[in-house]
Structure 1
């Protein structure tokens, strides 16, 4: 009896090119025929009992689906895999994180990281994202926080989650339900800043390490102005009444440095408003915050600021 090729094709299409030997046997396929497709045909084995029905490159969704089929009933994508699904991460992870109900024991497999979860299956905990069962956004944030190695990782994750349309209130509710979670205190503090306009880890570092540490005036964040030609321009930070603006160019937003649009905006603001624009990147804020603060002080003083900055150490160039 010939194998039902059309049924196999439909099954593989629904599952991003992946099938299981169990599914094939249910369709009436002979085990010997399956073995020939792997040994001498175009199929490849991704996990025990999980096959991809072509020999070309395997895309990430196929690996994710294969990991879910390997993990079996009740499995969902979580942690880095869920973060990529939700748009928190720009590139797919090298391994696929999968969460399974705590009562189940699943054998390990290369390329798959398994997590056993007690509350898996609770209402609203997971849903389909791009046709793959995935933990919800707030719980994905909590999972990724357990992997964060530094404060910067925490800040970047929260800002990425908010940019991907996760409500800060949703994250806060999830945090409040997890009193022992990692970085809890910092997360609650950052959520306040995110809601207040700190859109990136770079902006938060600027406020803390450049402004607060050196007792500079606090700039208004995410300020919008309408120019005479009707165009709207926005600045990351504006020192109101002093004609000094600060733009913070992170690698994510400006991978190649200042763009043509940035240059036009800086020129337009200078010509129409007389404001000078200082532009900083990660190295200026993270590695040399004192030198950056000294330059901001010089700009503010040139525009009439008479405040007294505070050096943060004996070697700090801020005077």
Structure 2
């Protein structure tokens, strides 16, 4: 509660400070009272930040990302957006964002709308890998990518606007991680390999399985073992799947990790091209630079 709310309830002005001195209450921000002496879980800290920032404030950026499931770990620093005409002094572990146009917010803890949160976070990203990861996380959190695009269109200033549109389309087409996008761009497109299908589901060996990348005409699958789906590397289930596909479908499986795609994309493209040719592809991989082993 705020000091003003306490006074409106008829509590004397100095009562808050007295209770804090006696360690019966806590005051995480000036003029804000937490009326118990126990631990402060993240939602309580977030509520205190909103009370401190006052009317019209809403959780945003990393705080909103946590609220909407874009991140799993509660951020130590709480981000709050505040209407431009108001001024709020910064505090430890509290970051204030003054907004000329406040985005929509809702919830018991008022929080900036999920698509607007994605666009807020977009403006703070350092590279394309982080950008595609954000959009993939948004898709997994069931945030509409069309709503993200609409929120971006409503911003007068937005860095890398064209890249955002391109990456949104990549995610719509099935890209689910930075590793998959790197494979698609650095291995496949840059070396002139045929376009693959992404996230293909099949019924093999009495089970439903899913492949990251499939070249159906050439009986080739590519599994990209990133930390999201394969935190410990190849599993027994992966081995069973690869064997079942080979036996039932006569389809080979190539398996790559981050280093193969990010550090040696040319060598990886050369290997994929060789496997495609064994499957009947009559094309030729294209060298992406002088000395590229794929060409």
Q: How does 1:1-319 map to 2 (within 5 A)?
A: 19-30=1-12, 33-120=15-102, 125-128=104-107, 131-229=108-206, 231-319=207-295
Q: Separation in 2 of the partners of 1:313 and 1:186? A: 24
Conservation of the 8 A alpha-carbon contact between 2:59 and 2:81: yes
Q: Separation in 1 of the partners of 2:250 and 2:138? A: 36
SS at match of 1:294: helix
TM-score, scaled relative to structure 2: 0.91
Query: Unaligned 5+ residue runs, structure 2?
Result: none
Q: Separation in 2 of the partners of 1:52 and 1:213? A: 57
Conservation of the 8 A alpha-carbon contact between 2:191 and 2:288: yes
Shift of residue 317 of structure 1?
2.4
Shift of residue 78 of structure 1?
0.9
Q: Separation in 1 of the partners of 2:122 and 2:289? A: 32
SS at match of 1:47: coil
Shift of residue 250 of structure 1?
2.5
- The change in CA–CA distance for 1:30 and 1:262 in structure 2 (over 3 A counts) is farther
Q: Separation in 2 of the partners of 1:177 and 1:34? A: 43
SS at match of 1:81: helix
Q: Once the two structures are superposed, what CA deviation does each residue of 1:171-204 show, in whole Å capped at 9, x if it has no partner?
A: 1222222253111101111222222212222211
Q: Once the two structures are superposed, what CA deviation does each residue of 1:29-83 show, in whole Å capped at 9, x if it has no partner?
A: 4455533432232433211122334445432222211111110111001111111
- The change in CA–CA distance for 1:214 and 1:133 in structure 2 (over 3 A counts) is same
Q: Separation in 2 of the partners of 1:203 and 1:139? A: 25
Shift of residue 110 of structure 1?
0.8
SS at match of 2:253: strand
SS at match of 1:44: coil
Q: Separation in 1 of the partners of 2:36 and 2:264? A: 52
Shift of residue 276 of structure 1?
1.9
Deviating beyond 6 angstroms after TM superposition, the runs of 4 or more aligned structure 1 residues are none
SS at match of 1:50: coil
Conservation of the 8 A alpha-carbon contact between 2:16 and 2:33: no
Q: Separation in 2 of the partners of 1:148 and 1:24? A: 41
- The change in CA–CA distance for 1:109 and 1:170 in structure 2 (over 3 A counts) is same
Q: How many residues align?
A: 295
Query: Unaligned 5+ residue runs, structure 1?
Result: 1-18
TM-score, scaled relative to structure 1: 0.85
Shift of residue 160 of structure 1?
1.2
* Bigger Cα displacement from structure 2, 161-170 vs 71-80: 161-170
RMSD of the alignment, in Å?
2.1
Q: Once the two structures are superposed, what CA deviation does each residue of 1:229-248 show, in whole Å capped at 9, x if it has no partner?
A: 2x221111111122211122
